[in-house]
Amino acid sequence: MIDLHVHSIFSDGVLLPSEIIRRADSIGIEAIAITDHVDISNIDHVVPRVVKACEELRSYWKIVAIPGAEITHVPPESISRLAKEARKLGAKIILVHGETIVEPVMPGTNTSALNSDIDILAHPGLITEKEVELAGKRSIALEISGRKGHSFTNGHVASMALKGGVKLIFNSDTHQPEDLINKDKAKKILLGCGISESSLKEIFKNSKDIVDNILKREIK
């Protein structure tokens, strides 16, 4: 199991990166990305600290800890610039907080995100066919979310992505200890949004491929 979307006390989570990573390790998660919410006000504060924590902990524990960022509730026009800044600051994986139906995310966020240098569009809500096509062209993964509220449109996201041949991944969007999800529960959530048993392996592989590519870039 790999989880590429969790939050620490550096945004709206309740745990230190150390505790999140340790708790994830204890339930069999092989790799985890700390992807705290960032905008122009805090990106230069949050990302370097998450980078520092992940680099330190990876030298002691087997679990792969990846520093990242989730660009959140910013004007769509700012997304590309902030994604580039997050990369410069050391983020290895970039998410954008997509147009979930339970928050007033700016219209146009999904499209702007998919035209930027990001890895995952998180909880993209009622994503359109045109946006799915763009995700496919840009090799950006769409997220099936384990988080309450954001998960309301999982069925739509799964259906659209599978129809369009676009990469799907599963993430917990953890904010509290009880939000962490093991592989068995992840499978049930995926099956519950209409994904077939035969597709589960590919979805988990998509997350592994993202992690493998990050590790390969680090070696270079």
pLDDT tens digits, 138-190: 999 999 999 999 999 999 999 999 999 999 999 999 999 999 999 999 999 99
Beta-bridge mates of residue 71: 38, 96
Torsion angle defined by CA atoms of residues 166, 167, 170 and 173, in that order, rounded to the nearest 10 degrees: -80
The tally of domains found in the chain comes to 1
- Chain length of the chain: 220
Q: Is the CB of residue 214 less than 8 Å from the CB of residue 58?
A: no
Q: Is the CB of residue 168 less than 8 Å from the CB of residue 160?
A: no
Q: Identify the CATH number of the domain in which residue 142 sits.
A: 3.20.20.140
pTM confidence score: 0.97
pLDDT of the residue at 220: 65
The pLDDT tens digits of the residues spanning 50-91 come to 999 999 998 899 999 999 999 999 999 999 999 999 999 999
pLDDT of the residue at 59: 84
Q: Which amino acid is at 63?
A: I
Domain residues for the domain of 129 are 2-219
Please, which residues have CB within 8 angstroms of residue 187's CB and are 6 or more apart in sequence? 200
CA atoms of 54 and 218, how far apart (whole Å): 14
Closest alpha carbon to 10 in 47, 54, 41, 57: 47
Q: What is the mean pLDDT of the chain?
A: 97
Angle between helices 154-164 and 129-138 (to 10 degrees): 60
CA atoms of 74 and 181, how far apart (whole Å): 28
